[in-house]
Amino acid sequence: MVKKANFSQIKEKVAREGVTRRVFSGEKSMMVLNTIKAFAKPALHQHPHEQITYILAGECDFTLGEDLVRLGPGDVILVPPDVPHTLTPLGQETIINLDVFTPIRDDYL
Amino acid sequence: MVKKANFSQIKEKVAREGVTRRVFSGEKSMMVLNTIKAFAKPALHQHPHEQITYILAGECDFTLGEDLVRLGPGDVILVPPDVPHTLTPLGQETIINLDVFTPIRDDYL
């Protein structure tokens, strides 16, 4: 049995105001496609899962521990386990980013 | 120390004729951005790593074990460990796809 989907047809979940996510999970890692509107204010948070974030559209300031880096399309960043992080959208464009979590986030299933 | 990059600036490696890859690795999982030209003939192969493949551009027939599925932009598919797989490009457009491997592929570092 093949497990496949199209992200456009995966039901989106509203994570918070202006933030949606679509989840496609394996057994060992999970892809999450997020949209983050310009007005959204994601909160600083942390988790024991390793995260890799790949920016597909939009620009943001990304906070990772004590560091602040600017990210735009094509940028990819590693969020090690348990490091607090968040992002602040820049400009008016909705951010589209792909997060990979390892291990999978059971709270997203 | 933040680990970040832009995929366009990651040195591409020619995997085989018409196939390139750019690698960004964490400790637990690895993102690989591939380009596969229409004439390329990727070989059937398998590995113990779980793989999730996300098609960003182009269309292909994807072979997974005994199954054959057509994939296009936005499609995402799970390749469980040790299942033989390959893809055949369709049309003339170069395929751009993102693979996530868990655990990381040491042979790609």
**CA-closest candidate to residue A64, choices B29, B46, B60, B1:** B1
Reply yes or no on whether the pLDDT at A41 is more than 90. Answer: no
Measured distance CA(A55)–CA(A50) in Å, rounded:
17
| Residue B4 located in a structural domain | no
CB-CB contact of A87 with A49 (8 Å): no
| Residue B99 located in a structural domain | yes
Q: What is the pLDDT of residues B21-74, one digit of tens each?
A: 999 999 999 999 999 999 998 899 999 999 999 999 999 999 999 999 999 999
Q: What is the pLDDT of residue B69?
A: 98
Amino acid identity of A47?
H
B57 and chain A in contact, CB less than 8 A: no
Give kind and range of the element (H or E) at residue A24.
Answer: strand A19-25
**A52–B8 C-beta distance less than 8 A:** no
Q: In Å, how far from its chain's centre is CA A10?
A: 16
Reply yes or no on whether the pLDDT at A38 is more than 90. Answer: yes
Q: What is the pLDDT of residues A60-95, one digit of tens each?
A: 999 999 999 999 999 999 999 999 999 999 999 999
Reply yes or no on whether the pLDDT at A104 is more than 90. Answer: yes
**A50–B28 C-beta distance less than 8 A:** yes
| Residue B47 located in a structural domain | yes
* Number of independent structural domains in chain B: 1
Residues in chain B: 109
| Residue A17 located in a structural domain | yes
- As a whole number of Å, the CA-based R_g of chain B is 13
Q: What is the residue range of B68's domain?
A: 9-106
Reply yes or no on whether the pLDDT at B6 is more than 90. Answer: yes
Reply yes or no on whether the pLDDT at B99 is more than 90. Answer: yes
Q: What is the pLDDT of residue B41?
A: 87
CB-CB contact of B20 with B35 (8 Å): yes
**A28–B103 C-beta distance less than 8 A:** yes
Q: How many beta carbons lie within 10 A of that of residue A1, not counting itself?
A: 4
**A2–B69 C-beta distance less than 8 A:** yes
Point out the residue among B54, B69, B71 whose CB comes nearest to the CB of A31: B54
Rounded mean pLDDT of chain B? 97
Measured distance CA(B13)–CA(B9) in Å, rounded:
12
Closest-CA distance, A100 to chain B, in angstroms, reads 8
| Residue B29 located in a structural domain | yes
| Residue B3 located in a structural domain | no
| Residue B39 located in a structural domain | yes
Q: What is the pLDDT of residue B1?
A: 86
Reply yes or no on whether the pLDDT at B3 is more than 90. Answer: yes
Q: What is the pLDDT of residue B83?
A: 98
| Residue B79 located in a structural domain | yes
This prediction's pTM: 0.96
B108 Cβ contact list (under 8 Å, min separation 6): B21, B23, B25, B30, B32, B101
Rounded mean pLDDT of chain A? 97
Question: What average pLDDT does the segment A17-28 reach?
Answer: 97
Here the CATH number for the domain that contains residue B72 is: 2.60.120.10
